[in-house]
Amino acid sequence: MRGAGRPPHFARPAPPAATPFDTAPGGAYKPAAVAVLRAENLWKRFERDGAVLEVLRGIDVALEPGECVSIVGVSGAGKSTLLHCLGGLEEPSEGRVWLGEADLYRLSDRRRSAVRNREVGFVFQFHHLLSDFTALENVVLPQRLGGADPARAERRARELLERVGLGERLDHRPGELSGGEQQRVAIARALACEPSILLTDEPTGNLDEETAVAVHELLLSLNRELGTTLVYVTHNAAFAATAPRQLRLHHGRLEPAR
């Protein structure tokens, strides 16, 4: 599967032309009508030893189709917590998150899980692949959980694994793959259900420098090729600088990083 040989169902439709954001009072983002994901007044608090720790403090953000956004911040700033709240993994203390038309935290747990499986792909620092499953089976699984036809799920898994350079490693289990190969399988798995947004949390953090660059470039190329919105949390300043839109999480708030 290369270039024009890729079956037409592989790629998502091209995103619509970008719509500029208006600015609400106080400098907060006022989301465009085409936003893939938006959050309003997002707060996350934790209680520790009787004290309340505010990790997220009134975040407003919107992401457009096909957008590529990097998020930086010091360790412990709450970047992972933010991604978890945006992706439907962790309920915020206050605020709302819309994924397309779905108001995530006003859905039942079952419905939210279904929306998340269909619309959000996650890539973490550790690959979290199922060790007893082959690369192909790991990419097929989320599609089957979403009700996909078995033959179509396997066909798409093969296409994705070939696209990330693992066409010859379909039947290998995670323990038989290098760290970079494991992360490529994780990327293919994250894209298996054709999500509208890919949330990545330090996806190159466990890789050597050369492999990290290759994985980073792969994510950027997939963002351009498939039109899948990409959010990239990283400590790597050089990687963050490649994103057209760069944000920083500072004292619980998102601000432009440049």
Q: What is the pLDDT of residues 228-247, one digit of tens each?
A: 999 999 999 999 999 999 99
Q: Model confidence over 184-217: pLDDT tens digits?
A: 999 999 999 999 999 999 999 889 999 999 999 9
- pLDDT of residue 11 exceeding 50, the answer is no
Q: Model confidence over 37-70: pLDDT tens digits?
A: 999 999 999 998 889 999 999 999 999 999 999 9
Q: Model confidence over 122-159: pLDDT tens digits?
A: 999 888 999 999 999 999 999 999 899 999 999 999 99
Q: Rounded CA gap, 227 and 128, in Å? A: 25
Within 13 Å of residue 65, how many CA atoms lie on the same side as its CB?
15
What's at 115, amino acid-wise? Answer: V
Per-residue 3-state assignment (H helix, E strand, C coil) for the chain: CCHHHCCCCCCCCCCCCCCCCEECHHHCEECCCCCCEEEEEEEEEEEECCEEEEEEEEEEEEECCCCEEEEECCCCCCHHHHHHHHCCCCCCCEEEEEECCEEHHHCCHHHHHHHHHHHEEEECCCCCCCCCCCHHHHHHHHHHHCCCCHHHHHHHHHHHHHHCCCCCCCCCCHHHCCHHHHHHHHHHHHHCCCCCEEEEECCCCCCCHHHHHHHHHHHHHHHHHHCCEEEEECCCHHHHCCCCEEEEEECCEEEECC
In this prediction the pTM is 0.84
Q: Model confidence over 157-181: pLDDT tens digits?
A: 999 999 999 999 999 999 999 999 9
Q: Rounded CA gap, 82 and 247, in Å? A: 12
Domains of the chain with CATH codes: 3-256 (3.40.50.300)
Tokens 């936003």 belong to residue: 35
pLDDT at 257: 87
What's at 131, amino acid-wise? Answer: S
37-72 CB burial, b ≥16 within 10 A, e <16 = bbbbebbbeeeeeeeeeebbbbbbbbbbbbbbbbbb
pLDDT at 34: 66
